[in-house]
Amino acid sequence: MVTILEGRTLATQIKNKIKKEVIQLKENGVVPTICVIQVGEDPASTIYLRKKKEFAQSVGIKEISLRFSQEITQQELIDKIKELNADAAINAIMVQLPLPQQIDEQAIFETIAPQKDVDGFHPYNQGKLWQGDSQIMPATVRGILSLIDSYELDLVGKNTLIIGRSVIVGKPLASQLLARDATVTIAHSKTQDLSAITKKADIIVSDVGQANLITSKMLKQGVVLLDVGINRVNGRVVGDVAFEDCKVKASAITPVPGGIGPLTVASLMEQVVILTRIQKDDR
């Protein structure tokens, strides 16, 4: 029988853990604070940021929202981030993606101070991940690892396929799965004959954003499917994996929504606490 890897229960457990840690920090005179920057009025980003704000408030984290027009220049945004880097009251900085065309995302990643980089996108933090020496990683990656740990999924020696090579999920996740002794393959938009690779995989993580990319005919029996994709089809949110079709072959599968999604916001706020503790210990 297939195991449904749901993330909502685990997200609640993480939330309760964060609450306790925030209380402890406040008892020592420290208020964990995240500053979230939004450029423009992308509807999906606005909804996601509202969820982050609500979660932060529910666990006692101070959340500061800064909104800028779509026309902001790259230099203006960089100057604002530098101000926040220098503000000792700000523990974590996050710039919501996507950004308008005139702004180079990589330049923004590199401007955020590594010790305040709650998204884990800075090249320093990404490099430290590959060296196995960082507590900071992209929130979705932390969420995936939390789910793997919660369900005690065995990674050792398993053929693990990651579909997607972004610095947000694919590349940093590969580093963490390798550290857990998985045998990792990364597929991407230029991969030839994806189906030939998926059929050999014991575990598949898909982060493409293409509905029904993975179907049952592409899978071997007993595969574990971790679906990170978010797609809107006929007013419904679905993942990259054709859930009903694939769950017949899978030994374990995440639903969309309700799988990795709830863990991403929880993991982000978990990292606010981690950054706050690191900064507190360095003072």
| Residue with token string 């180079």 | 104
Of 38, 96, 126, 176, catalytic: 96
52 is catalytic: yes
Nearest to 204 by CA among 181, 220, 180: 220
Name the DSSP class of 224.
E
Of 38, 80, 117, 119, catalytic: 119
One-character DSSP codes across 29-82: T---EEEEEEES--HHHHHHHHHHHHHHHHHT-EEEEEEE-TT--HHHHHHHHH
249 is catalytic: no
| Contact by Cβ (8 Å): 217, 249 | no
119 is catalytic: yes
| Residue with token string 């574990």 | 224
Q: Sort strands 224-227 and 3-4 into parallel, antiparallel or unpaired.
A: unpaired
CA dihedral 270, 273, 274, 277 (to 10 degrees): -170
Of 52, 80, 247, 249, catalytic: 52
Show Cβ contacts of residue 17 under 8 Å, excluding neighbours closer than 6 positions.
270
Catalytic residues: 52, 96, 119
